[in-house]
Structure 1
């Protein structure tokens, strides 16, 4: 066993003995970068101390207690005050360090000059591309003397057991914290810890540098943050540092001076001092000179090129020289910014509504290519347009990295498109699509699918079921190809006629009169809400989050019938299989019922306040609009003309109803597909391959299809699958806070002037009220009547909220998006494509929404 190794003898392959930090520093020294000299107390030293019976007994006892009775700690979600590793840390901090380890450390310290050193933890899972572990283990600066050094090493070993480190490992799926087991050598779920000891670097100024912009993802920018004294003040967030944005050559693009609230300096005799500078004491002389910034930029680019990806670097500057203290991969980096033309922005606005969350590998191999996006790709290909809905979710190592709006390209087949459109429009009437024999065949196949009992299937039969469910969708693509042409032509004809008559503003109201399955669902929800309003116990049960209603048989029966009829609808996205359906997440439906059951408040008094949404009868509204149109001087008293215009309106309505209802039926296979996938996940879990059935989402369908019965799988195959799932889960965890695309690339932020936010106007007049930010369906029940709904996206699941909201403000979408159409149907103002609405506006804030100008302004009304 080797207990101490010089940094210069290590490289990027030394992870197992030196941890991530030690391996990276060794690699940097070998590459010739200016790194302070030092050595590593290896993982072998940690393992030997952990094997001491007095330490290992505490390790085993702690693990046993956690596994037996503290499930929250297994996931890193400790209750307030809980600290599962406290006794383990205490054991390490007083552990007897064997003489051979002690001697090796002190000999290396003497060779380093026995002066002040920095002592840093270096776990085998940190400073890696998927997990930075920033701040999770401990660092001790300006350590002076042999006794202080040994004590600092022990404390670094102990820091593997801090509550924050345990939680971080659990969240990143790295050894899953303590719970996966502790080896006799103290290894925790595959994680050990080493300790880096380096000579203290002098620092007039210090800080961090990112070789790409961590906020925008721009790879041609370098971000430098600096402050006086040691860089710990910047790293730990104790100061507001000087902030520099540099171009690739180190030239200053932007500079924001810091405030230097604290300066950390080495203390005489060891440790550090925190000084508070006197007001005005920080001058230009204590800022980084331009030549230093240029040197930093050159160093950053060189380190990035050597390691092959953007880097997060800690540095120090003194006497004109720059020193590299640490380099690790820059994690959670957004994709590079996109510059999109008008057509790609339009497609991006559609796709952002389709994909509000990052797809899993199982999505990418099932519902994405076969669901609505795959269907529209088939439709557009049929009419000669290629690439419109394909390749927009590029994957790296099985994980979707970003959303890239595609660039459609016409083919020669487009020359025949006008002929195809006219021929199909003549033959296929959207008003009669459910009478098509193919529709009856599709519904029969759905009934057969829904009767399948996945639990009773053997593995070969079960693994075939997803393909059968996906193949059942083929008729829907044919329906869209056949019936959409008359839909589009009917809408275009009506829009042109209205424009010629000078009544273009009536289009939205005229086409709201069609009956759709979404409208049917909304009426059914309103009926359930009416039952709640009549039964106080039901209302109380909803407030308490109840999912069963034993005291009211009528409601329970009606609710079950609702889920039977509409439970296949998606909660989050129409093109993903991984989010639950309404039937699987009844709490989402109950949240909508709770919103509808609530009594609307008195009007807030804002000018042009529309009627409360529940008072608007959409059919009556459409009929009033039609009567108004028929009173036009060119139609009044001319029954044949009026009858023709009425027929055109009805055809446009039928087209919109077809578009909506075909999607409703399109999602019929979703519950079957999900049941099959989760059953496969459950069997893989029972075979010890997965920790939970939902982890099956990290696998692709073709990977599942090649697996034999997991109950009889070899140990090697099980290990291979576990590692595949672990890697993908870890990468997803790293990208958790990274958007698939910056909404501002699709919806450029508009000059809001004195408005809080601005976007695309989508109609509905003006209304005001308090903001309610709702980010996901689980929060539906929080919306109160008369509040302004602010959300990142919408789909049909959100529709019931529009019956109580005073207005809607959405980060994504345009005037033709689902949210805009439904908002106009309910007569409420809508502002779409704000890009930043959910981040700028806050719940409770009083605002006025103008759906005609696309502006959201602060309201004069006070709460």
Structure 2
């Protein structure tokens, strides 16, 4: 017998091949598997015997494809094919090697799959191609690499009824990113599953808790889908409506989760599955063991003491994404996590802001803090003690910057330019690590007293206005020049120079941003202008494309970023000074109107005293970010690239920018004792990309209502508002005003070109790089961030209504939806759907 039905075969049949054995097992245990049959491995042996072929024969693959079926073999196989075709319009033909899917040696993607097979000739031809794939060069290399000794031609073939899937995907019964057995991960998109398996699409991702069935979602682009046609399969582009919604509903997600748990229990070890959904029915198409168990164990052994463990999960950990957008690279984690813990623990005790930070750790590349409530009595005493600092907070910050930070940046510049021995590079690297500890001690030494002053003034404000409206309070603190605004103003002044020069203006109006530098370099006027841009970058270029990390270019490395901002000013006609003066006038008007509401003259004078201190210190938020958050990482990047070059030269890594995927101790060891770390860096880069695709939870553990309230007072909304409905989304009222306009969801800087004047900006959060969009935006909506976040501050400076910390906007809103944004009440109304 050369073929056998799934439901008639023995589960232990070695003649079925690994894939076939899995399908037999699933069918026999009642899982929803489409009907099919196995062409057993003895069929290939018979075929080779009939054609006098041996596996060592030269050009064996072509000989198999050109071989002839004996009547006996052909008749049996085609009889099974026609029987299956009575129930299905077409079939899928897949290889099923005895070597395939063995633990530790997954051959996924090494053999062949053929879909929408309808005719006898096509069926027999695809069977031969599956057999030939056993001998292909790429499989041979893979077997050699895996030291797999299954050299005999033991190739079975699975023939399965083709499900015309409306949605398909893959499921991992253990989260492959975090190696968490308590979670499963689903990747899904439209059409047949080959689009996902081949990597042709960016799928939707769903992480499901295997106990509670709670779901985390991340929307993919779902660029295309595959469908059957008269012959073979074809790619189709998804339309906007398909791209802008999840391809699976919660009911299907939970049903798939239940099937996955059942399958995992059947096998007794983690599995990955392929599934399809047709006419609202779920089918499991394949199952295989997760074959990276050993590698996962190795990854677990690399965990550092600043990573959250399973035991830690019992505590309340708050995602600090409103301050540091994750994920962050391994090297940056080594520097920033210990530094933030040191600074937060020390300064939250000295300047209590409502909570005390106990620990800072990393989870899935994101930074979390564990907090405890402060003693109100001690907090009040500490706040009173801090009052003596209030009159000169800004001057105090500049004094710290001049004494501590700027001298070290000069040292870093010297270290970046110097020639290093391994010993001197190690010494310099340790200096940088030590300075990060000092820097974030001073960071919170600067920030926390201002937060206390802000809290004091806001409490007084609410005594007059009540606690329902806070946006005007913060708008009364706008219109003070800071480093972000100063940077924007210099870019605007450079754009004015462009407008005055007809040749330069034509370049900026007719070329793409990516072409500007090369085009300008071709003329004398263009070269002079580039000199001015580079002069600007020497002072203002110390900011990264990605704030708070080392992995992306900084402005000083590439004039493109400044040139693109200048181009935006040239095209949109924005007049910085006029708009800034309007902000100042609005601030003065709001403040005068507020003072008139205060009848008690003594209270009015006291409020004005605190207000003037707060207005003077309002530069702290942006200036500390410019000089500490951005500049330290930027200067560190330039120096660390030198170490990356040294490690590349000594064979530790393949490229200097692989350095970001090593931890600090590995770098220290490798400088003096070079060992190959290419594989580790490559694996971590891959994991980092996976972290980028999946939402990290806003918090971990089971906090009390009081803990959540204390957290929200600091970082903004932690959970989605319970008042949300199908037509309304609520968040933090961050900048007043009411406008309506079309939504544009922008997920990262690569999508800036999609944004148009008059759009409502919807995003997860913003950093200083996003400021150019505020010039064109009608309003701003974010998932994360509170009243003191970057998005809130810049929206108020630009006079834009803003609702922040919605926790739902990028999931609920799609490009083209028309919304009304009420930045005074924190309410978003969905007027119409695209």
Give the TM-score, by structure 1 length. Answer: 0.65
The CA deviation at 1:706 is 0.7
- Within 1, Cα distance between the matches of 2:408 and 2:333? 24
- Within 2, Cα distance between the matches of 1:783 and 1:263? 32
**Does structure 2 retain, via aligned residues, the 8 Å contact 1:51–1:184?**
no
1:579 and 2:552 correspond:
yes
**Does structure 2 retain, via aligned residues, the 8 Å contact 1:140–1:152?**
no
The 1:301–1:616 alpha-carbon spacing in structure 2 relative to 1, beyond 3 Å, is farther
The CA deviation at 1:746 is 3.7
1:793 and 2:765 correspond:
yes
Determine the structure 1 residue equivalent to 2:536. 562
**Does structure 1 retain, via aligned residues, the 8 Å contact 2:760–2:779?**
yes
1:444 and 2:407 correspond:
yes
Determine the structure 2 residue equivalent to 1:619. 584
Q: 2:663 aligns with which of 700, 717, 721?
A: 700
The CA deviation at 1:540 is 3.9
Q: 2:616 aligns with which of 635, 654, 657?
A: 654
**Does structure 1 retain, via aligned residues, the 8 Å contact 2:574–2:775?**
no
Q: 1:544 aligns with which of 498, 512, 524?
A: 512
The CA deviation at 1:151 is 5.2
The 1:649–1:330 alpha-carbon spacing in structure 2 relative to 1, beyond 3 Å, is farther
Tell me the secondary structure at the aligned position of residue 326 of structure 1.
strand
Q: 1:363 aligns with which of 298, 308, 332?
A: 332
Tell me the secondary structure at the aligned position of residue 809 of structure 1.
strand
Q: 1:765 aligns with which of 730, 737, 751?
A: 737
1:125-164 map, 5 Å: 137-139=112-114, 152-155=127-130, 157=132
1:584-595 map, 5 Å: 584-595=557-568
Q: 1:517 aligns with which of 483, 492, 505?
A: 483
1:174-185 map, 5 Å: 185=140
**Does structure 2 retain, via aligned residues, the 8 Å contact 1:792–1:810?**
yes
Determine the structure 2 residue equivalent to 1:61. none
**Does structure 2 retain, via aligned residues, the 8 Å contact 1:231–1:316?**
no
The CA deviation at 1:665 is 1.7
Tell me the secondary structure at the aligned position of residue 671 of structure 1.
helix
The CA deviation at 1:824 is 2.1
**Does structure 1 retain, via aligned residues, the 8 Å contact 2:652–2:678?**
yes
The CA deviation at 1:852 is 2.7
**Does structure 1 retain, via aligned residues, the 8 Å contact 2:171–2:272?**
yes
**Does structure 2 retain, via aligned residues, the 8 Å contact 1:314–1:327?**
no
> Relative to structure 2, which stretch is displaced further, 592-601 or 124-133?
124-133
The CA deviation at 1:440 is 1.9
1:682-721 map, 5 Å: 682-708=645-671, 713=674, 717-718=675-676, 721=677
The 1:736–1:115 alpha-carbon spacing in structure 2 relative to 1, beyond 3 Å, is farther
The 1:617–1:329 alpha-carbon spacing in structure 2 relative to 1, beyond 3 Å, is farther
- Within 1, Cα distance between the matches of 2:103 and 2:829? 45
**Does structure 2 retain, via aligned residues, the 8 Å contact 1:768–1:847?**
yes
**Does structure 2 retain, via aligned residues, the 8 Å contact 1:119–1:198?**
yes
Tell me the secondary structure at the aligned position of residue 453 of structure 1.
helix
The CA deviation at 1:560 is 1.9
- Within 2, Cα distance between the matches of 1:224 and 1:490? 47
Determine the structure 2 residue equivalent to 1:738. 694
Q: Which runs of 5+ in 2 are unaligned?
A: 1-9, 85-91, 200-206, 216-225, 235-253, 293-309, 700-715
- Within 1, Cα distance between the matches of 2:44 and 2:697? 40
- Within 1, Cα distance between the matches of 2:822 and 2:561? 29
The 1:665–1:232 alpha-carbon spacing in structure 2 relative to 1, beyond 3 Å, is closer
The 1:768–1:690 alpha-carbon spacing in structure 2 relative to 1, beyond 3 Å, is same
- Within 1, Cα distance between the matches of 2:620 and 2:257? 60
C-alpha offsets along residues 815-836 of structure 1, whole Å, 9 cap, x if unaligned? 3322122212322111213334
- Within 1, Cα distance between the matches of 2:135 and 2:487? 53
- Within 2, Cα distance between the matches of 1:649 and 1:587? 40
Determine the structure 2 residue equivalent to 1:507. 473
Determine the structure 2 residue equivalent to 1:727. 683
**Does structure 2 retain, via aligned residues, the 8 Å contact 1:532–1:538?**
yes
- Within 2, Cα distance between the matches of 1:378 and 1:210? 44
Determine the structure 2 residue equivalent to 1:526. 492
The CA deviation at 1:433 is 0.8
The CA deviation at 1:488 is 3.1
The CA deviation at 1:674 is 1.2
The CA deviation at 1:438 is 7.3
The 1:642–1:419 alpha-carbon spacing in structure 2 relative to 1, beyond 3 Å, is closer
C-alpha offsets along residues 684-717 of structure 1, whole Å, 9 cap, x if unaligned? 444555443322222112111111468xx4xxx3
1:431 and 2:394 correspond:
yes
> Relative to structure 2, which stretch is displaced further, 551-560 or 853-862?
853-862
- Within 1, Cα distance between the matches of 2:534 and 2:195? 58
The CA deviation at 1:577 is 2.1
C-alpha offsets along residues 617-643 of structure 1, whole Å, 9 cap, x if unaligned? 3333323333334444637xx6x8765
Q: Provide the aligned C-alpha RMSD in A.
A: 6.2
Tell me the secondary structure at the aligned position of residue 197 of structure 1.
strand
Determine the structure 1 residue equivalent to 2:634. 671
The 1:98–1:41 alpha-carbon spacing in structure 2 relative to 1, beyond 3 Å, is farther
Q: 1:775 aligns with which of 747, 757, 766?
A: 747
**Does structure 2 retain, via aligned residues, the 8 Å contact 1:212–1:218?**
yes
> Relative to structure 2, which stretch is displaced further, 789-798 or 655-664?
655-664
The 1:231–1:96 alpha-carbon spacing in structure 2 relative to 1, beyond 3 Å, is closer
Determine the structure 1 residue equivalent to 2:571. 598
Tell me the secondary structure at the aligned position of residue 768 of structure 1.
strand
**Does structure 1 retain, via aligned residues, the 8 Å contact 2:495–2:566?**
yes
**Does structure 1 retain, via aligned residues, the 8 Å contact 2:94–2:159?**
no
Determine the structure 1 residue equivalent to 2:712. none
- Within 2, Cα distance between the matches of 1:691 and 1:98? 43
